Structure 1
């Protein structure tokens, strides 16, 4: 009887699957609460994307509609949702660097928690943040006139595309953040996201770009994601751009997932 009682009350091993689930949930909640209390993260995730969508609709929306005969919102809403996902990932990378420099990651490393829960929690928290940001952008788009015309399944896939794209990009940001001590280098990634936005089919139609750069614009990661989301919401091809989006995302994960995991482990053991 004493043996059975001891077995029932013994603490679960910190490296067990059950501990991984529980510790990941706790750390995911910690990250979401911290991001919610951080003004920069809120700006990058919610306010700036919504304001950007309003600005694009006011400044260039009417001109694009006169030029193409199509509502510009079906390119602007997907593009802004993806830009919000990327901007939030950069803000999360900056906070990750601060946690490393302050020793918080090292404190978690010496606690009796599952070693994989820290990175798993960041992936889960990023997914939640991107999904909520996408919902916010779509709601603003609905106020402006955006609608889903391809059914509920296509609408659900539409909401998932920025999550997949953003998580792949967050893998790159995490790899950079854990290997560099300079936050400015992580923040400098926003230059790349800005170039991707301005040279994408979500900003202006493909025919508006010079002929020599159209192949680059048409096949760059943000353009194919925007084209896939446009087809899922309104009209246009879906199979090709969605396939290219998944290929771009898979390539980013394959190249940067292992360096990000190794770097996160090293940063936690400092």
Structure 2
């Protein structure tokens, strides 16, 4: 028996079944998607900002990067913007979670006869759906500026899949921080700082050998770089097995580290007075 704000809450055995978890996660995922769509400003931001960012990178930096490296910058900027949109979208989801925590919604959900993991699962699923749709959108926009995918539908599916691996890990990290941090903690500046640092120090923003030698190992092995390299390889029909292994290792590692703090932090946030 759990206590929420002084009131006893009992959970039945049926709430802990896989069927209940799956069904209730689907219902709550629909709720999350409805909240996003109905918030016109957020919905437009999810769509417009990544597209405008991609076009800005192409117009402002495309020729400069291409001239310096001798490579088409589009194959770097499209994967980069896909990952950046995934990160900042997850930050927005973390902010929304904190707001719902402050309004008492998490506590109200916690006293309902639903699976304890369903709400967190729905938030993660919502992020994955958003990332998949935005990735397809950016691939389409990228095709108009030179991002030609030689492998057809299989390569497109691979790019979306790699984006989902990265997005799942980052979304889990954000959710764990959002439910574990105190309401007064500077969560937004911290997450924005992390996202910004990752955005400027990867192989999509600039070739690795263009960074200082002491920084190159960090840039090469931070999570965004192997993800970008796999996307680039899929688009151009090349092999990137080593980078894919590194992406999977990062994803599994981050989720493994963050899963328990996310579940424990959610319970603490939902049962706090």
TM-score for both structures, normalised by structure 2: 0.89
Partner of 1:6 in structure 2?
none
User: What is the correspondence of 1:218-233 to structure 2 with a 5 Å cutoff?
Assistant: 218-233=220-235
TM-superposed CA distance for 1:56, in Å, is 0.6
Partner of 2:104 in structure 1?
103
TM-superposed CA distance for 1:49, in Å, is 1.5
1:120 aligns with 2:121: yes
Instruction: Call closer, same or farther: CA 1:184–1:38 in 2, change over 3 Å.
Output: farther
Secondary structure of residue in 1 paired with 2:151: coil
In structure 1, what is the Cα distance between the partners aligned to 2:146 and 2:226?
23
Instruction: Call closer, same or farther: CA 1:183–1:47 in 2, change over 3 Å.
Output: farther
In structure 2, what is the Cα distance between the partners aligned to 1:249 and 1:39?
31
Greater mean deviation of Cα atoms: 200-209 or 83-92 = 200-209
Instruction: Call closer, same or farther: CA 1:215–1:43 in 2, change over 3 Å.
Output: farther
Picking from 202, 216, 233, the partner of 1:214 is 216
Number of residues of Structure 1 aligned to a counterpart in Structure 2: 259
Partner of 2:73 in structure 1?
72
In structure 2, what is the Cα distance between the partners aligned to 1:219 and 1:122?
28
1:24 aligns with 2:33: no
1:60-96 CA-to-partner distances (Å, cap 9, x unmatched) read 1112222222211111001100110010110000100
Secondary structure of residue in 2 paired with 1:89: helix
In structure 2, what is the Cα distance between the partners aligned to 1:247 and 1:17?
27
Instruction: Call closer, same or farther: CA 1:70–1:157 in 2, change over 3 Å.
Output: same
Which consecutive unaligned segments of at least 5 residues does structure 2 have?
A: 1-12
- Aligned partners of 2:165 and 2:247 also within 8 Å: no
Partner of 1:185 in structure 2?
187
In structure 2, what is the Cα distance between the partners aligned to 1:44 and 1:264?
27
1:119-142 CA-to-partner distances (Å, cap 9, x unmatched) read 111121111011111112112111
Partner of 1:144 in structure 2?
145
Partner of 2:8 in structure 1?
none
Secondary structure of residue in 2 paired with 1:188: helix
Partner of 1:3 in structure 2?
none
- Aligned partners of 2:117 and 2:263 also within 8 Å: no
Aligned alpha-carbon RMSD (Å): 1.8
Partner of 1:133 in structure 2?
134
- Aligned partners of 2:94 and 2:174 also within 8 Å: yes
User: What is the correspondence of 1:163-178 to structure 2 with a 5 Å cutoff?
Assistant: 163-178=164-179
- Aligned partners of 1:173 and 1:186 also within 8 Å: no
1:18-61 CA-to-partner distances (Å, cap 9, x unmatched) read 32222111100000111223356435532221111111100111
1:146-167 CA-to-partner distances (Å, cap 9, x unmatched) read 1111343222111111111111
The structure number with the bigger radius of gyration is 1
In structure 2, what is the Cα distance between the partners aligned to 1:28 and 1:168?
18
1:48 aligns with 2:49: yes
Secondary structure of residue in 2 paired with 1:13: helix
In structure 2, what is the Cα distance between the partners aligned to 1:14 and 1:26?
14
Instruction: Call closer, same or farther: CA 1:205–1:40 in 2, change over 3 Å.
Output: farther
